[in-house]
Each structure stands twice: as structure tokens, then as C-alpha cells.
Amino acid sequence: MFADLHLHTLFSDGTYTPAGLVDAAVAAGLSEIALTDHDTVDGWEEVSAHAEQAGLAFVPGTELTAELNGRELHILGYYVDSAHPELAGELRSAQEIRCRRVREMVARLNDLNIAISVDAVLEAARCRAPGRPHVARALVAAGFCTSLDEAFERYLKKDRPGWVPKPKMSVTKALRLIHAAGGVAVIAHPGLNHDDRLVGRLARMGFDGIECRHPKHSPAATARYEEMARELGLVATGGSDCHGTTKNRPTIGTVRIPRSWVDALRQRVAERRAEARKAAKAAKAAGPDAPQINAGADACPASPPASPPTPEAQESGSIP
């Protein structure tokens, strides 16, 4: 009974199809998976349908790119209402920014006499949230690089000739959006931020969880983040951040978390939504002239979709 709460597909920069992801999850012995594609929720429907067929529970998620003091932070939003107008609008705008950025990156590469076309990149990407990996794939396909790593090293890493900065929303805004859409916000792979003081700061801002387990976290870092989650009263999560075969071998199955952690995450969602309903009720009772409290979460389903227990769980009745 293990879960992976951080997975990508070809709806952003992964290589898995929905069916391929679910097959890989089954092969890795997982019973529950979250889809957390960058800046999109486009894959939810198909992945959840395949997951259901395979008897896996599905956790809806997305990975937002945000900024705090000029630093890029990734934020996982789980159980958000994908139809929430403000969230949907922000995702659309992040996707437009991504497409514009791909155009600019290709233009810079063209200036270096690297003949790849925007149409070829976008046609091959076939998703609404394209990024550097898609440009890297085009560089390899056209023979300008022999590997994705080389494409990043030579052209696409920060300050390399094909690199274009990506405008990002503030962390405060990302957090507010996720909560307004009835979801919970988790600090993705804090080990990649190289500054653990940020964790406490983000916790004080109102984050709900820390992604403690991640392939890039050492055992010591994992233990440290699990301890921080306990001390700060945050939910601990984890996932393989698998992008399929984008980078070497797929990491799915190398990082997994017990079902009880996912239950704690769902509990947090229920608490957040109850708080939002209470605040909305209080605001209503105070009358129309009272200051408005953001009651966005009230428009969301009353409780998060319960993951169906697997036959195994029903038999043993236990949570690992």
C-alpha cells in the first residue's frame, strides 16, 4: 500500500502517456498515484480513468512554478478544483507564457544558426505546457546535440545562449490560488532550494506540507524534512518526480510513501475546506457591509474525492 505523489506525463514535460504511467505505477507496486504536471491539469481525466481501470487510487495535483525573492520555487497543489475560475485563468496564463518562451528560445537558437523551428517543437510537444525539455528534444532530434543533458548544458541552462527567463507568480499568490481553489499546498523538493530556512518561512506563510521524500534528497535530508514537518505541524509527502525517460531511467518506484501519509493529506484538505466554509458563513452573518473574506473554497466539492480502498486494504483493514 504505497503511493507516489509526484509524477509527470506528456501533458507537460514527461514522456509517459496516461496508460504508460499507470502501467509503470502498477509495475512499481504502487497503489495510489498523483499526477502533478507543470502548470496544467490537462492529464487528470485520462490518468484517473486508467488508474481506476487498474485499481489504483488517483490524487489530482499540479506543480506550479513560483518565485520568492528572485528564487524559483516549485509548489505542489493537490485536490484543487480544476474549474475554479481564478486558478484556471492563472494556469492558462502560465501556459501562454510557456509557449511564448519556447518561441523566444527557438529564436535565440536560430540566431546561433541552429535551424530548428517553433512549429516542430510545439508539434512534437503536443501539450499546453511546453518547456525547455521540448526544445532540448528538438535539438537532439535535429542532430545539434547527442543528449538532452548536452542540450541543457550547452544551450538551455540558466545563462546559456538559448536560455530565456520565465516570468513567475509570487509564492504568496500561488498559495492563495491553491487554497482559494479548495486545495492544499506542498513545498516541492525543498532539498533543491539549498536553503532550509525557507521551509520555516513557507510554513509560516500557510503551506500545508513538505515533500520530504524525493530522489534528489539524501537519507539525511529526508529525515531532516520529516522532522521539520512534525515540528511545524505540516503534512509529510513524497514522490519520485518521474518524467518517464526524459532523464536516464524512470525514477518511478524509487520513492514511495505509506498510504497513511496520503490520508493525512486528505484530512488536511477537509480541514482547509471546513475553515473556508466557516469563514464564509461568518462573513455572511456579519452582513453585506462587512469586509469580504475570500470564500473561494466554498464553491468546491464539500469533501475531497475519497480514494477507493484497494481489495487488499479491504481484506486486511490496515493502513501501512
User: What is the Cα–Cα distance from 3 to 5, expressed in whole angstroms?
Assistant: 6
Residue 247 interacts with, from Fe ion, ligand AMP, Zn ion, none (CB under 5-8 Å by kind): ligand AMP
Contact 34, 21 (CB under 8 A): no
Instruction: Name, in order, each residue with C-beta under 8 angstroms of 194's C-beta and a sequence gap of 6 or more.
Output: none
| Interaction of residue 152 with ligand AMP, rule CB under 6 A | yes
Nearer to Zn ion, 63 or 81 (CB): 63
Torsion, Cα of 116, 121, 123, 126 (10° steps): 170
Stretch that binds Zn ion, among 63-71, 129-137, 149-157, 256-264 (CB under 5 A): 63-71
- Residue in the shown chain whose Cβ atom is closest to ligand AMP: 131
Looking only at the bridges linking them, the beta strands covering 235-238 and 209-213 are: parallel
| Interaction of residue 42 with Zn ion, rule CB under 5 A | no
H helix or E strand, kind and range, residue 286: none
Contact with Fe ion (CB under 5 A) among 13, 32, 90, 208: 13
Stretch that binds ligand AMP, among 24-32, 83-91, 132-140, 224-232 (CB under 6 A): 132-140
| Interaction of residue 310 with ligand AMP, rule CB under 6 A | no
| Interaction of residue 189 with ligand AMP, rule CB under 6 A | no
| Interaction of residue 90 with Zn ion, rule CB under 5 A | no
Residue 152 interacts with, from Fe ion, ligand AMP, Zn ion, none (CB under 5-8 Å by kind): ligand AMP
Q: How far is the CB of 251 from Zn ion (least distance, A)?
A: 10
Binding mask 163-202 for Fe ion (x = CB under 5 A): -------------------------x--------------
User: What is the Cα–Cα distance from 211 to 225, expressed in whole angstroms?
Assistant: 8
Q: How far is the CB of 8 from Zn ion (least distance, A)?
A: 6
Sequence-ordered strand ranges (E) for 20-95: 32-35, 57-68, 71-78
Binding mask 231-270 for ligand AMP (x = CB under 6 A): ------------x--xx-----------------------
DSSP state of 206: T
Stretch that binds Fe ion, among 12-20, 97-105, 115-123, 144-152 (CB under 5 A): 12-20
Contact with Fe ion (CB under 5 A) among 7, 51, 60, 74: 74
H helix or E strand, kind and range, residue 275: helix 259-285
| Interaction of residue 241 with Zn ion, rule CB under 5 A | yes
# residues near ligand AMP by CB under 6 A: 13
Report which of 93, 75, 95, 17 is spatially closest to residue 49, judged by C-alpha positions.
17
Binding mask 166-185 for ligand AMP (x = CB under 6 A): x-------------------
Count CB neighbours of 304 within 10 A: 22
Please spell the DSSP secondary structure of 219-250, one letter per residue: HHHHHHHHHHHHHHT-EEEE---B-TTSSSS-
| Interaction of residue 133 with ligand AMP, rule CB under 6 A | yes
Contact 236, 8 (CB under 8 A): no
